[in-house]
């Protein structure tokens, strides 16, 4: 049985924790609005980009000589996985969900005896993966210094990928991130970017039978466009991720605040009870003392 | 019949410009400038550093772009670019910085002809901006 003093201390400590989680929730809510706006503003670009590439790849007849970024190297031996996570914790299952998704993919690859290479973006992902997959991680990128998500950062990651591809360091590349659906739901995503898989979400079915005029020719446009598309896809993933992170943190902190409230209520009842018991005990002692006289 | 069409200029992080009352747009495509009017045939091309001129009923707007992709289809011109600014809000410092960084790049030996051409062109366009 904890003493009254212990209980009082416990209540104060829970209350101050509650204050912190409440503040974090409100900060996350404010950031979420901005991040969500950004994510929505960024969607048209990646959507248009996808459409252009789709139209282009349809008009390519000579599949053999098509750019490798589009059709792949013809092999599937080395898989490169880009795992995008947050730089900060305390956001519920946000990071864990991405890692879980990524891990199941890793296991599949390892069990098929293929080579696995991992690049982590964001320090939380690195922290969680290094225990188990340390030997596979080839690079760890973090954008802690940049305040906002910007295209420049995404482009850096994109360039690393292209560089590795040109050196034939991998055959297939997939990215892992959380797609923002709403504040409560974020869906961990696995998206293959090399060779390019059609993204079903971004598909626009507005009859693509147009005969385009290309200037210069298709191949040259494609080879120019595909590296850009990789950066764009990563940028999109980063935007979705940041909105998801804030959403996830907001829900997590909201829950924590509520839990703390419940805990304070319970502790207060316990505190009052034991205070009452102490008073009763003292009274009994006095009365029985007086009776024995 | 009207001779107007739509233009959408999008950046990776936002929609930059969206208009539905333009009658001519001149874009600096990689193989030369293209003027686009309504009912142009579908075209995909990419940009070199230069100036996009947008003529609408009421005004004429000029934008500097560094690179990007254009697609024209169903009377909608989409321009995807990561570096664009309105000539009216051109920042003198930024322009001169871009010129000097491009010139520094030019002075390196290990660049190929195509890149050299693009850089030369970029310097030229940027200089013409800073004069105005």
Helical (H) or strand (E) element with B61: strand B60-65
A139 in Cβ contact with A126 (< 8 Å) = no
**In a mutagenesis test of the B interface, which of A220, A224, A228, A236 is the best target, namely the one with the most B β-carbons within 10 Å?**
A228
Predicted pLDDT at A261: 96
d(CA A109, CA A114) in angstroms, rounded, equals 6
The number of residues making up chain B comes to 132
d(CA B36, CA A98) in angstroms, rounded, equals 45
d(CA A127, CA A144) in angstroms, rounded, equals 14
Question: Average pLDDT over chain B, rounded to whole?
Answer: 84
Question: Average pLDDT over chain A, rounded to whole?
Answer: 86
CATH class of B5-86: mainly beta
d(CA B128, CA B132) in angstroms, rounded, equals 7
Cβ separation B14–A49 shorter than 8 A: no
The tokens describing B121, both together, are 């062109």
pLDDT at A247 over 70: yes
Predicted pLDDT at A98: 93
The upper half-sphere exposure of residue B88, i.e. CA atoms within 13 Å in the direction of its Cβ, equals 5
pLDDT band at B132 (very low <50, low <70, confident <90, very high): low
Share of chain A above pLDDT 90, in %: 38
pLDDT at B85 over 80: yes
Cross-strand partners of B17 = B9
- Measured CA to CA in angstroms, residue A15 lies from A6, A66, A263, B50 at distances of 14, 63, 9, 60
Strands B76-80 and B5-10, sheet pairing = parallel
The tokens describing B33, both together, are 């400038």
H helix runs in chain A, sequence order: 4-59, 68-71, 94-111, 123-133, 151-166, 218-291
Beta-carbon contacts below 8 Å between A and B: 78
B31's CB contacts (< 8 A; 6+ apart) are A215, A216, B45
Asked which of A126-130, A156-160, A225-229 is least confident by mean pLDDT, the reply is A225-229
d(CA A203, CA A240) in angstroms, rounded, equals 18
B17 in Cβ contact with B9 (< 8 Å) = yes
Contacts of B31 in chain A (CB under 8 A): 215-216
Instruction: Based on the residue annotation, tell me whether A81 is a catalytic residue of this protein.
Output: no
Q: Which of B11, B43, B69 sits opposite A225 (nearest CB)?
A: B69
pLDDT band at A200 (very low <50, low <70, confident <90, very high): low
- Between vectors from CA A124 to CA A248 and to CA A227, what angle results, nearest 5°? 90
d(CA B72, CA B65) in angstroms, rounded, equals 17
Share of chain B above pLDDT 70, in %: 98
Among residues B20, B11, B3, B5, the alpha carbon closest in space to that of B72 is found at B5
**In a mutagenesis test of the B interface, which of A37, A40, A50, A52 is the best target, namely the one with the most B β-carbons within 10 Å?**
A52
Cross-strand partners of A119 = A82, A139
The number of residues making up chain A comes to 293
pLDDT at A78 over 60: yes
Determine the distance in angstroms separating the CA of A67 from the nearest CA of chain B, rounded to an integer.
17
Predicted pLDDT at A209: 54
Residue A35 DSSP class? H
How much is the pTM?
Answer: 0.83
B62's CB contacts (< 8 A; 6+ apart) are B51, B52, B53, B54, B86, B87, B88
- Between vectors from CA A253 to CA A248 and to CA A258, what angle results, nearest 5°? 130
Cβ separation A42–B46 shorter than 8 A: no
Share of chain A above pLDDT 70, in %: 93
d(CA A247, CA A34) in angstroms, rounded, equals 11
Scan residues 35-54 of B and list those with Cβ closer than 8 Å to A. 41-46
CATH class of A39-249: alpha beta
B79 in Cβ contact with B52 (< 8 Å) = yes
pLDDT at A55 over 80: no
Asked which of A107-121, A248-262, B58-72, B89-103 is least confident by mean pLDDT, the reply is B89-103
pLDDT band at A227 (very low <50, low <70, confident <90, very high): confident
A186 in Cβ contact with A94 (< 8 Å) = yes
With 0-12 / 13-18 / 19 or more C-beta atoms within 10 angstroms meaning exposed / middle / buried, residue A231 is buried
pLDDT band at A21 (very low <50, low <70, confident <90, very high): very high
Helical (H) or strand (E) element with A30: helix A4-59
pLDDT tens digits along A230-244: 888 898 899 999 999
Q: Which of B12, B45, B78 sits opposite A232 (nearest CB)?
A: B12
Asked which of A61-75, A199-213, A262-276, B112-126 is least confident by mean pLDDT, the reply is A199-213
Annotated catalytic residue, options A11, A84, A91, A160: A91
Mean pLDDT of A8-13: 95
Distance of CA A45 to the CA centre of its chain: 21
The tokens describing B103, both together, are 């010139």
Predicted pLDDT at A268: 96
**In a mutagenesis test of the B interface, which of A38, A149, A210 is the best target, namely the one with the most B β-carbons within 10 Å?**
A210
């Amino acid at each position: 049985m904890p003493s009254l003093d212990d209980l009082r201390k416990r209540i104060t400590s829970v209350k101050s924790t509650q204050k912190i989680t409440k503040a974090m929730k409100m900060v996350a809510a404010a950031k979420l609005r901005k991040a969500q706006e950004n994510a929505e503003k960024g969607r048209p670009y990646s959507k248009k980009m996808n459409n252009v590439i789709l139209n282009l790849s349809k008009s390519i007849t000579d599949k053999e000589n098509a750019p490798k970024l589009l059709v792949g190297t013809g092999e599937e031996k080395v898989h490169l996985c880009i795992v995008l996570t947050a730089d900060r914790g305390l956001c519920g299952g946000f990071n864990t969900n991405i890692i879980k998704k990524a891990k199941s993919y890793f296991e599949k690859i390892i069990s098929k005896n293929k080579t696995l290479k991992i690049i982590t973006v964001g320090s939380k992902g690195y922290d969680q993966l290094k225990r188990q997959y340390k030997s596979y991680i080839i690079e760890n990128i973090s954008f802690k210094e940049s305040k906002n998500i910007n295209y420049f950062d995404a482009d850096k990651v994109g360039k690393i990928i292209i560089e590795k591809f040109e050196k034939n360091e991998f055959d297939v590349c997939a990215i892992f991130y959380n797609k923002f659906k709403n504040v409560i739901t974020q869906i961990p995503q696995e998206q293959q970017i090399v060779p390019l898989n059609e993204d079903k979400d971004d598909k626009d079915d507005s009859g693509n039978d147009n005969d385009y005029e290309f200037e210069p020719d298709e191949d040259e446009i494609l080879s120019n466009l595909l590296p850009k598309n990789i950066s764009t896809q990563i940028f999109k993933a980063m935007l979705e991720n940041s909105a998801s992170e804030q959403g996830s943190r907001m829900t997590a902190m909201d829950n924590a605040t509520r839990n703390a409230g419940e805990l304070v209520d319970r502790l207060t009842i316990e505190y009052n009870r034991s205070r009452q018991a102490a008073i009763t005990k003292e009274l009994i002692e006095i009365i029985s003392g007086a009776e024995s006289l | 019949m009207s001779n107007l069409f739509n233009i959408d200029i999008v950046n990776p992080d936002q929609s930059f410009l969206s208009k539905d009352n333009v009658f001519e747009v001149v874009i600096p495509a990689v193989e030369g400038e293209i003027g686009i009017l309504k009912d142009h045939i579908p075209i995909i091309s990419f940009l070199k550093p230069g100036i996009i001129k947008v003529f609408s009923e009421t005004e004429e707007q000029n934008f500097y772009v560094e690179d990007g992709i254009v697609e024209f289809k169903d009377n909608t011109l989409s321009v995807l670019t990561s570096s664009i600014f309105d000539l009216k809000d051109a920042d003198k410092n930024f322009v001169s910085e871009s010129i000097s960084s491009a010139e520094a790049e030019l002075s390196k030996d290990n660049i190929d002809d195509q890149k050299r051409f693009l850089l030369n062109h970029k310097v030229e366009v940027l200089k013409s901006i800073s004069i105005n």
